[in-house]
Amino acid sequence: MGCVSSKKKLSKADLDFLQDNTEFTKDQIMEWYEGFILDCPNGELTKKKFIQVYRQFFPNGQAEAFCTHIFRTFDADNSGKIDFKEFLMAINITAKGNPEKKLKWAFKMYDIDSNGSIDRQEMLRIIESIYDLLGAGIAKNASNGALAGRDPNDTPENRTTQIFAIMDEDKNGVITEEEFIRGCLADRVLYQMLTADTSEPDR
């Protein structure tokens, strides 16, 4: 299953940290922790288990590549495992964070080599993994009809070119975090696709 059994308790220090740094209440944190420990009794989530869980949400697509990128972003200390604190911090951003926080987190996922900018190849790799994940129904939930359905020209390569045309403001071939955030906040469809969030970004 990817987890070794031996029940662990959430330390007071971790509980205090999560109460101070997330929008979850003490009861919500404990509820999340119970579920996490049920799945991973040793308190650590491996990549294999993460992919196994995530795959259930996307039965028609291939989740492995996208999950690897998500996992890397969750695994803040690069240990190859996600502990509960890392897990809940990431959930807090993806589920409850304001649009800018979500975009900062998403930027980390797209910036595969962590050099502070996204090049065309990095963007292409993530877009390809999103297309694999969603299968034939790519972006069908986006509220703007321009992304609905699957146009034969709607390839990861073309999508990457479109994204760079919008976001790469100084046309230097890379997208900075500032360009990424500005581009997504100015374009609802891009925001929804690149953060997997169907709500409206606040401006």
pLDDT surpassing 60 at residue 4:
no
Q: Where are the domains of the chain?
A: 13-95, 98-140+151-196
Helix (H, G, I), strand (E, B) or coil at 175: strand
User: For the segment 70-127, what is each residue's pLDDT rounded down to a tens digit?
Assistant: 899 888 888 999 999 988 888 887 777 788 988 998 899 999 999 999 999 999 999 9
We find that the CATH architecture of domain 13-95 is: Orthogonal Bundle (1.10)
User: For the segment 27-57, what is each residue's pLDDT rounded down to a tens digit?
Assistant: 999 999 999 999 889 889 999 888 887 777 7
Give Cα separations from 73 to 144, 152, 153 (angstroms): 28, 31, 30
Quote the distance between the C-alpha of residue 42 and its chain's center. Answer: 24
User: For the segment 121-177, what is each residue's pLDDT rounded down to a tens digit?
Assistant: 999 999 998 888 777 444 444 434 444 455 677 899 999 999 999 999 999 999 999
Neighbouring CB atoms inside 10 A of 17's CB total 15
CA-based nearest residue to 194, from 147, 151, 150: 147
Helix or strand holding residue 68 (H, E): helix 64-74
We find that the CATH architecture of domain 98-140+151-196 is: Orthogonal Bundle (1.10)
